[in-house]
Structure 1
């Protein structure tokens, strides 16, 4: 009979007669360690209060300073491109230059952020001794000795970080951070240019002046999309609404911008329900009235019309205007009516006899 006993530390016998160790059992090795003990050739880890080697610290300081200077140069390049180069040939807001602007602006800003991050990381890892900080909990009202202890700890931490005794790091950090602090202010330009006084008049006014100089009473209304002049007989069904523009606007300089400002809705309101605004009694043609299509809330197109209530609706924030009563606000966040365009008739065609009497668009754009 064979003896099933085995020596301690020897491999367990397997059923197939082998002596390999079964997977999952502890290793029989003794007296071995993955980490060397003290005195066996490996150095113990440095304590938290270990003094820095000044020579290596100086080298690390120069590296950190170099990263901070690089961050400064990249952020200055970001601002310079944004203000200078991107302002040429129509600015950076066009479709053609969008890719170039994104490349340079994103690249310089990313380089500035990365350089700052690398510099701060090397500073912390190479120039700070990482002394342990113990925070004690006390009453909210701190006594004088506690405040004095805090001040001492703060000064000790500042000294440990090297911010007080390493002026090169301090100066280059401030140098790198200064233009980055201005970057958000520069990016406010991306909200778009201010309209200034450009919304006080539209192409309707220019077209009317040109028409009157030619001996006409006003400029003809054309249907948006077809540019066909509109006769009174073409729009004699109450309840209808179409979008119109001044004749010849497609030939104007910056026609897209002019069309965006001059776009107008034409509505045929039943004569028995129409209430002319005082001073504007002759601004309509048998109940046919024209209002700016740009909502006075935030500038969305007020392009919906309820024939039963004769309400003009803006789909963005549900501002509602009464087409029978000077497009006054009856619901929603808008604070003023849609500007009304004075209309007339010449040779059977609907014409505009003047520009809008007030700036079109949202009230916050310009009301001064």
Structure 2
């Protein structure tokens, strides 16, 4: 019988024969080949090359420091509204472009300097260690500490003073970028949190009809929303200002008003309170005419409009500010000044 007549699966494979031969000879076909021979870098054998690498790393760290200084200068010197043309992006904010570029360079140079330092000057000798239990023995702990000391010594941090000093300088200056970014939270509010658009002589404008309010327009038990005279929804700062100046107008029977100052500041039982909840600033819109209570829909803070806007339930911290009003010579309701205290939620310097 020729070999062509023998089924293919019956023929012995050369791989199987090789494996059998290896087993017979006692050799492990999957033995660990070990680490390849270590090849020294040019910096390991030539001190001049090592000095060049040291200067490169120091240059990168120094460039990072300069970029951080550039970040601070750009933040202080470039106007917020200045635009520049950058191809192919187009017109963008000069301040944002400068801050992003300088911050990116500062970060990149720190990273590139650390990488170049590790690749050219730190020890690159391969070390293999056997797996060990998770809980290290005293001998292993001692070995780890010794390896750490060897790594610190081989990094040449103490000997390469130029690298050490410039690295510390770059790392120390870079956080200054974050400190200056705190200024980007916005300018100091000054008196903006304490003042609204209300002032003496400004008429109360019905927000639904956009007409000045007369006392006869406000019925007992009704709730009307008003804003100061002179404001318009077309104003660029309308939303910002109405968030402080929004007003609730309610007419109570004078005998139902418990607070004497509230009664003195009212007109025939018509009282005006801030619409802004003193908890987190939600607009109040729910009124219960039988109890004279208003309810904030966000967190259910409840205020008594017959008792100086006092908080009777919920997380709000202080009463609703009241606006003193009167009737002018033309028969319209007008403010006698601004709110006597800041409207809305409490803040650190509210007092």
TM-score (norm. length: structure 2):
0.72
In the other structure, the counterpart of 2:349 is 366
1:201 equivalent to 2:195? Answer yes
Q: Deviations over 1:15-47 (max 9, x none)?
A: xxxxxx9xxx89x9xxxxxxxx99xxxx72349
In the other structure, the counterpart of 1:323 is 305
Computed over aligned residues only, the root mean square deviation of the Cα atoms, in angstroms, reads 4.4
Measured in 2, the distance between the counterparts of 1:3 and 1:313 equals 99
In the other structure, the counterpart of 1:279 is 261
Structure 1 unaligned regions, length at least 5 = 7-11, 15-20, 29-36, 90-96, 209-217
* Number of equivalenced pairs: 319
In the other structure, the counterpart of 1:220 is 203
Question: Are residues 110 and 84 of structure 1, via their aligned partners in 2, closer, same or farther at CA, if it must alter by over 3 Å?
Answer: same
1:75 to 68, 74, 92: 68
In the other structure, the counterpart of 1:296 is 278
Q: Which SS does the other structure have where 1:357 is aligned?
A: coil
Give the superposition deviation at 1:297.
3.3
Measured in 1, the distance between the counterparts of 2:114 and 2:176 equals 20
Structure 2 unaligned regions, length at least 5 = 19-32, 83-90, 130-134
In the other structure, the counterpart of 2:223 is 240
Measured in 2, the distance between the counterparts of 1:315 and 1:166 equals 66
1:165 equivalent to 2:159? Answer yes
Q: Which SS does the other structure have where 2:249 is aligned?
A: strand
Question: Are residues 344 and 317 of structure 1, via their aligned partners in 2, closer, same or farther at CA, if it must alter by over 3 Å?
Answer: same
| Conserved? CA contact 1:245–1:263, under 8 Å | yes
Measured in 2, the distance between the counterparts of 1:123 and 1:81 equals 30
Q: Which SS does the other structure have where 1:364 is aligned?
A: coil
Measured in 1, the distance between the counterparts of 2:259 and 2:252 equals 15
| Conserved? CA contact 1:312–1:321, under 8 Å | yes
Give the superposition deviation at 1:270.
3.9
| Conserved? CA contact 2:214–2:332, under 8 Å | yes
1:120 equivalent to 2:110? Answer no
Q: Deviations over 1:193-222 (max 9, x none)?
A: 3323343333323xx1xxxxxxxxx32112
Measured in 2, the distance between the counterparts of 1:364 and 1:98 equals 35
Q: Which SS does the other structure have where 1:203 is aligned?
A: coil
Stretch of structure 1 that moved more, 51-60 or 184-193: 51-60
In the other structure, the counterpart of 1:344 is 326
